[in-house]
Structure 1
Amino acid sequence: MPTPGASPWREPEHDELADLVRAFFAKEVLPHAARVQAQGHPDRDHYRRAGELGLLGLSVPAEYGGGGGGFTHEAVLLDEQTRSGDNSLGIAVHSGIVTGYLVAYGTEEQKQRWLPGLCDGSLIGAIAMTEPDGGSDLQAMRTRALRDGDDYLVSGAKTFISNGGLADLVIVAVKTDPAQRAAGVSLLVCEVGPAAASGTTPATGAEDTGEPGGAPGGDRPGFRRGRLLSKIGLKGNDTAELFFDDFRVPAANLLGGAEGLGFAQLMGQLPQERLVIGIGAVAAMERAVELTVAYVKERTAFGKPLIGHQNTRMVLAECATRARVSRVFLDDCIAKHVRGELDVATAAMAKSWLTEGQCEVVDRCLQLFGGYGYTTEYPIAQMYADARAQKIYGGTNEIMKELIARAL
């Protein structure tokens, strides 16, 4: 298997960053994995610690509290997080997506106001596009933002919102002109937190135990977090429902300075979001192969190690090849993105093909573990459950194929 350092865009500074990220997850996050999975959301302290180490906002300019790097630095962090086995911290959304919107479209005042907190971990970010009745059809969203003096009154519901339980800052896609489709969409930055470490958990309604990080809560008038969704995978991340009922948002929080720019802003940032998903997919493929190779060399059947059986070798050869080709394609997409050349169709190809590969490789690797692969005692089982969402969020793979077809 190729090492991460084989990527042609990597420099020594990326390898040093990888070492820091690896140590952070090993020492600060993974020891708490069982508790975090059980509570259904990460600890806020883990975001703060990541911020202290300079791991949040790696591509945000230094004048706003970020690392002053580029997307390749974000890619290294996300790769190492997947390799570590952590599925709780929503850094892919927080740093890989939310900060990108603010850097690209925020006013100077907005950048100075929010980016430092996102970079030091005192603020947790989320983005809310999907609605209960509206999946991938963003133009048909029903959440409204009506102008009321110097504010907007936001009403509607969003669902499947990663980081939604703990988020302090949510970029919300709204309709400022309900009569229009794409031209009526705007993005508002909603300050909904801080989510307090007290009260009841949306996940269970049980009294908060005061564990580190605490439970979501402390919502503002007109805003309510619904339950933390119970999922088959990614159990440590807080995926939530969000409800707005005349939630008052200053008009100064409108991204882009004018109404109706939201759909174009979403389309401008979605290629990076899909590339972020692809990074996790490739890292998961490589990790699955590495774990499985180690297992089949130790496990015996019919008097010899599993690796000695032809079927095992053939399956692993195919999975290793799929992972290697995926890494090369991903590296090409990252290089294009850094040059500003990653188009919508290619990003859609990356998102769909890489996540399909992730699900296939993890499934085939799990099979080689036999019954043990189906038990949560082995990481491959968690990887199997976590992988399935990759083909859904960020735009379903069916939508990705439609985007690809339109470009033919």
Structure 2
Amino acid sequence: MDFDSTPEQRQLREAVRTLGQQYGHDYFVAKARAGEHTSELWDEAGRLGYLGVNIPAEYGGGGGGISELAIVCEELAAAGCPLLLLVVSPAIAGTVIARHGTEAQRRTFLPGLADGSLKIAFAITEPEAGSNFHRLGTVARRDGADWLLSGRKCFVSGVDEAPYVLVVARVPDDGPGGRADDGSGGPADGDGATDQGGGDPGTAGVRLRPALFVVPTDAPGLTMSKLEMEIVSPENQWLLYLDDVRLAGDALVGGTAEPGDRGGLDAGLPALFAGLNPERITVAAMGAGTGRYAIERASTYTATRRVWGRPIGSHQGVSHPLAHAAVQVELARLMIAKAAALYDAGRDVEAGVAANLAKYASAEAAALAVDTAIQVHGGNGMTTDYGVATLLGAVRAGRIAPVSREMILNFVAQRVLGQPRSY
């Protein structure tokens, strides 16, 4: 059991930390307040190779894994610049396409993801489906060699910055046994669900399975509407509306334009989970970095702010809550490192458990760290100048998305503790 980073990982951490500190939280907040994107930081990180550390080397990436990308996410957040699109573009889209895309798709998309010149957004959440992706209402149906995609998505991050969006939809399974006779199946099965007529009427009674499509954001039939959020972030959230968006056959991840090709259909569920576990790990890393940033700001303040002739950090009522938050952040970092190492080793089942645990621990620790940092600052903690209250909305959202703490507890109760399914 080795708790030490490799020399290359230590060098990467130091280099990314240096880059993040050159920009800092003031830059991040100024961009968000102005309604602008952190393009300068993103572009420089891309030029330096940090955005593509997990992309295979043969496609222009660093040839590393999620462990390395988690380092990038954490260190930029620890500098006060948490970049959500790191999670969306290289972690989710990059991993999905690298693992399950066709060779043509890898050649088309991975080099741009690696150097940051290309961003791909990710659309899975829907207004009605909640956490149950087996009941997504977005459906793709065949039309000759093409696909027609219809549905709605919400909380799509950064799609205004991306020329493509990776959309999770359900498709009719027209292979052997594809038509359901009795309406069986459902979210508990884990292998698809039967449409009962709530989505496309043409799919009623047909077994549907998840599939992923790379959709141009300027495609006819795709429109978007901005969601106003109480979060200080340069990356916006969007509603997407897909009205018979026509896609070529090779828009399906793992699929081609060849008639009868089923590669993308068979890859759908594995491809989805290939992206969701890295999402949890890198979101957790971003949360841990944010917690570190908040604790560092608070520690500097409490060590130098003097009241009645002594620093306020000398009072245990101030220092103990801060120390407790630091302990929780460090514990979360250990679980993140374990989850990333398991994922990179190809131990997907164990990595899935660890990724959920890491995400839960990090979200709780980050929320605690920011709240504690605000409290020890007193009234100054609520000002923009002191740079901690600006993180409050983001860390609170981290306890909800991309998977809520309650759903993780359901997962742990069922998968780890062997309890009966509660939903």
TM norm structure 2: 0.82
Q: Which residue does 1:213 correspond to in 2?
A: none
Greater shift in the superposed pair: 155-164 or 325-334: 325-334
Q: Output the CA distance in 2 between the equivalents of 1:350 and 1:23.
A: 26
User: Equivalent of 1:289, from 292, 295, 303?
Assistant: 295
Are 2:55 and 2:61, in contact at CA under 8 Å, matched by a contact in 1? yes
Q: Give runs of aligned pairs for residues 287-366 of structure 1, distance below 5 A.
A: 287-341=293-347, 342-366=350-374
Q: Output the CA distance in 1 between the equivalents of 2:373 and 2:167.
A: 39
The answer to whether structure 1 residue 232 and structure 2 residue 230 are counterparts is yes
User: Equivalent of 1:90, from 85, 91, 98?
Assistant: 85
Q: Output the CA distance in 2 between the equivalents of 1:29 and 1:301.
A: 29
Q: Which residue does 1:406 correspond to in 2?
A: 414
Q: Give runs of aligned pairs for residues 158-307 of structure 1, distance below 5 A.
A: 158-177=153-172, 182=192, 183-192=208-217, 219-227=218-226, 229-256=227-254, 257-259=263-265, 261-307=267-313
| Matched positions, count | 375
Stretches of structure 2 that go unaligned for 5 or more consecutive residues are 174-179, 187-191, 193-207, 255-262, 418-423
Q: Which residue does 1:129 correspond to in 2?
A: 124
The change in CA–CA distance for 1:331 and 1:122 in structure 2 (over 3 A counts) is closer
Q: Output the CA distance in 1 between the equivalents of 2:277 and 2:389.
A: 29
Q: Output the CA distance in 2 between the equivalents of 1:339 and 1:369.
A: 42
Please give the secondary structure, in 2, of the residue aligned with 1:241: strand
Identity %: 31
Greater shift in the superposed pair: 68-77 or 27-36: 27-36
Q: Output the CA distance in 2 between the equivalents of 1:35 and 1:292.
A: 21
The change in CA–CA distance for 1:335 and 1:117 in structure 2 (over 3 A counts) is closer
Q: Output the CA distance in 2 between the equivalents of 1:238 and 1:300.
A: 40
Are 2:17 and 2:76, in contact at CA under 8 Å, matched by a contact in 1? yes
- Structure 1 residue 260: Cα displacement: 5.7
Q: Which has the larger radius of gyration?
A: 2
Report the residue type matching 1:188 in the other structure: F
- Structure 1 residue 316: Cα displacement: 2.2
The change in CA–CA distance for 1:77 and 1:174 in structure 2 (over 3 A counts) is same
Stretches of structure 1 that go unaligned for 5 or more consecutive residues are 1-6, 193-218
Please give the secondary structure, in 1, of the residue aligned with 2:70: helix
Q: Give runs of aligned pairs for residues 63-142 of structure 1, distance below 5 A.
A: 63-88=58-83, 90-142=85-137
Q: Output the CA distance in 2 between the equivalents of 1:346 and 1:90.
A: 22
Report the residue type matching 1:313 in the other structure: S
Q: Deviations over 1:41-67 (max 9, x none)?
A: 515454333322212221111111211
Greater shift in the superposed pair: 373-382 or 263-272: 263-272
Q: Which residue does 2:203 correspond to in 1?
A: none
Please give the secondary structure, in 2, of the residue aligned with 1:67: coil
User: Equivalent of 1:53, from 48, 51, 54?
Assistant: 48
Are 2:73 and 2:83, in contact at CA under 8 Å, matched by a contact in 1? no
Q: Output the CA distance in 2 between the equivalents of 1:85 and 1:31.
A: 8
Q: Deviations over 1:197-256 (max 9, x none)?
A: xxxxxxxxxxxxxxxxxxxxxx331111211x2222242112212221111111112123
Q: Output the CA distance in 2 between the equivalents of 1:30 and 1:370.
A: 20
Greater shift in the superposed pair: 257-266 or 164-173: 257-266
Are 1:145 and 1:174, in contact at CA under 8 Å, matched by a contact in 2? yes
Q: Output the CA distance in 2 between the equivalents of 1:311 and 1:154.
A: 57
Q: Output the CA distance in 1 between the equivalents of 2:271 and 2:252.
A: 12
Moved over 6 A (4+): none
Report the residue type matching 1:321 in the other structure: V
Are 2:339 and 2:351, in contact at CA under 8 Å, matched by a contact in 1? no
Are 2:77 and 2:83, in contact at CA under 8 Å, matched by a contact in 1? no
Q: Deviations over 1:326-362 (max 9, x none)?
A: 2333333333223233343332222112211221222
Q: Which residue does 1:369 correspond to in 2?
A: 377
Please give the secondary structure, in 2, of the residue aligned with 1:48: helix
Are 1:127 and 1:170, in contact at CA under 8 Å, matched by a contact in 2? yes
The change in CA–CA distance for 1:354 and 1:43 in structure 2 (over 3 A counts) is closer
Greater shift in the superposed pair: 393-402 or 262-271: 262-271
The change in CA–CA distance for 1:167 and 1:346 in structure 2 (over 3 A counts) is same
Q: Deviations over 1:152-188 (max 9, x none)?
A: 1111111101122211121100121298752422111
Are 2:29 and 2:233, in contact at CA under 8 Å, matched by a contact in 1? no
Q: Output the CA distance in 2 between the equivalents of 1:377 and 1:184.
A: 50
